[in-house]
Structure 1
Amino acid sequence: MQLKGIHHVSAITANAKANYHFYTTVLGMRLVKKTVNQDDTSMYHLFYADEVGNPGTDLTFFEIPRAGNTYPGVSSISGTSLRVSNDAALTYWENRFNEYEVDHDGIMEQAGRRVIHFRDPEKQRLTLVSDETNQGVAGGTPWDRSPVPVDTGIVGLGPVKLTVQDPAPTIKVLTELLTFTQVGSYASTVEGQDDILIFSTGEGGTGAEIHLETRNDLPKERPGRGSVHHVAFRVENEEELRKWRDRITEARFGNSGVVERFYFKALYFREPNGILFELSTDGPGFTSDEDVEHLGESLALPPYFEDQREAIEARLEPLDTK
């Protein structure tokens, strides 16, 4: 039982149409699934990924139209990374961000890798990270019909940053419960703060890291549009997920048990600083109910919601994704 890396990251948007435009037209990701939040079917759940939505490539968004601003702070998932193949790709992206007037900080080095920190229109905190030196979890395959050339396209999720006030209980969960090990650190850009710690699992590398930041100068984050709801880690299959359920229960963490999400099975629990973790199976995947050529074009509903389709569609603003 070892987690394989990052499975997906789920964030919040207040505007599905603008979100779809940015992530497909500007970032060149593919919308592989247009569906609904299975816990609240009145809102869209959009999945952006590589050509077929391989595990480890999905950045997803719940649309909450009335979501207010995010006030950054601790007890949060404070940064999401997107991988590109090499350092040269970052030069392409720097130019593209300038062309599309994307708020970014330029190319810099972080933890021995070249990166670009940037923000989407809702101030989602994002980073492009180069896989130039990656020797761990392999990336996915960019969609060949993307507006971004395949050789510079986004190949998956990179390190996810957590920000907490007291790192000790989070470290204990990562290392004693979830099979992460500390593999390094790098200096914080905030004066007077401790180094940011790097934890890795599975094959390691950019697709399997958590970066843990300690901040004693911030209040608890107030989430809204542009904030991250949860991070999910990869589990091989349902049999292994059930073993994780038992292990997490034995460690006395309240959890959801195994939840059917149709495209994968999941388990949710909060670590001691209040950050929501999910464990998700690699399959069956997003081609379970749609042809590969037409992923994300129509509203996809799991079979157990099909009898509610008419009512669900009536509550959603139309979103043209063809």
Structure 2
Amino acid sequence: MPEDSIPGLHHVTSICGAPQANLDFYGGCLGQRLVKKTVNFDAPDTYHLYYGDTGGAPGSIMTFFPFVNAGPGRAGPGMASAVAYAVPPAAFDGWMEKLALEAVDFAGPVERFGQRMIVLADPDGAPVELIEREGSRGEALDGFHSVTLWEKAPEVTARLLTDHFGYAEVGSVTEGGIARLRLQAQGGGRGSILDIIRSDAPTIARSGAGTIHHVAFRAETDEVQQVWHDRLATAGFDVTPVIDRQYFNAIYFHEPGGVLFEIATDPPGFANDEPAETMGQALMLPPQYEMMRAQIERVLPELKLRPVA
């Protein structure tokens, strides 16, 4: 992938409430692997949970800051409003049957841009879309399909994505009075789609449980990330210095509509501090908090993985 284009999503980070309910839904109901159980770098008395495919590959990673006492959030303009997982077409009916047998409510199926989709809600009420994607195989969810951004001026955000990130506009549709613009990264691989919606509903965004905190895009290497940092800074964006997140390096900036964007590196990956076979089983702490392990473990609630159906 050339350095003048972003290949797609790296991860999405959200805020949730009770961590056990979150684990039951994403690790149990959706069959995602808990690839990392660590703590919030800024609040070590709180978990930071990472879910993904078996190997924890970029483009499959959904992460959460669980705050047990967090009030409910509300998506609105200037926020990412929904995340979608890719479903192999041959497995789509099976997923509906599985959810029905587990008494998980969902809306649909309906079609969006010619692809079947259903929408369910996680324990905090966040919409989770399951959308067919050609090229996906097997029975499991195949990483991200897309993320939806809610903007007051979609054309401004679209310009950032096309002019700077190398995305292309590939379609538009109106759903229930809401205009939806679809953009896709070059290559069309996992997590390559971004949808932008605009709604005239009088909604004010509020961060809290059930809302997306930020959207992270991929940089294949540290060197590529530095190129993006310099380009964004030159274009006038207030981009942070590189921050070491232990499993990737990160830079952050707010896109013109207000959504917090991150560009994260593929390396070193989630097997950086524990064997790939046992990722997610033990509590892994950043080096600066290792001396506080006993105290942190007393505060954090115990989490139990249930077998994946």
State the TM-score, normalized to the length of structure 2: 0.93
Q: Which residues in structure 2 correspond to 1:87-236 (within 5 Å)?
A: 88-131=90-133, 133-134=134-135, 151-187=138-174, 189-191=175-177, 193-194=178-179, 196-205=180-189, 207-236=191-220
2:54 corresponds in structure 1 to 51
Compute the displacement of 1:309 (Å).
2.2
Compute the displacement of 1:206 (Å).
5.5
- Identity, in percent, stands at 37
Compute the displacement of 1:222 (Å).
1.1
1:11 corresponds in structure 2 to 14
What do residues 187-239 of structure 1 show as CA deviations (whole Å, max 9, x unaligned)?
2x222x43x11111131255201100011223231122111111111111101
Partners of 1:268 and 1:113 in 2: how far apart?
32
SS at match of 1:31: strand
2:292 corresponds in structure 1 to 308
Asked if the contact 2:14–2:63 (Cα under 8 Å) also holds between the matched residues in 1, the reply is yes
1:33 corresponds in structure 2 to 36
1:271 corresponds in structure 2 to 255
Letter matched to residue 84 of structure 1: V
Letter matched to residue 46 of structure 1: L
Letter matched to residue 278 of structure 1: E
Compute the displacement of 1:165 (Å).
1.4
SS at match of 2:99: helix
1:72 corresponds in structure 2 to 75
Partners of 1:206 and 1:307 in 2: how far apart?
39
Partners of 2:188 and 2:138 in 1: how far apart?
23
Asked if the contact 2:143–2:190 (Cα under 8 Å) also holds between the matched residues in 1, the reply is no
State the TM-score, normalized to the length of structure 1: 0.89
Partners of 1:164 and 1:83 in 2: how far apart?
23
SS at match of 1:154: coil
Compute the displacement of 1:313 (Å).
2.3
Compute the displacement of 1:109 (Å).
1.2
Partners of 2:87 and 2:203 in 1: how far apart?
33
Partners of 1:276 and 1:50 in 2: how far apart?
24
Which is further off, 177-186 or 155-164? 177-186
SS at match of 1:207: coil
SS at match of 2:76: coil
Partners of 1:168 and 1:84 in 2: how far apart?
29
Asked if the contact 2:50–2:62 (Cα under 8 Å) also holds between the matched residues in 1, the reply is yes
Q: Any gaps of 5 or more consecutive residues in structure 1?
A: 140-149
Note the aligned Cα RMSD (angstroms).
1.7
Asked if the contact 2:24–2:305 (Cα under 8 Å) also holds between the matched residues in 1, the reply is no
1:81 corresponds in structure 2 to 84
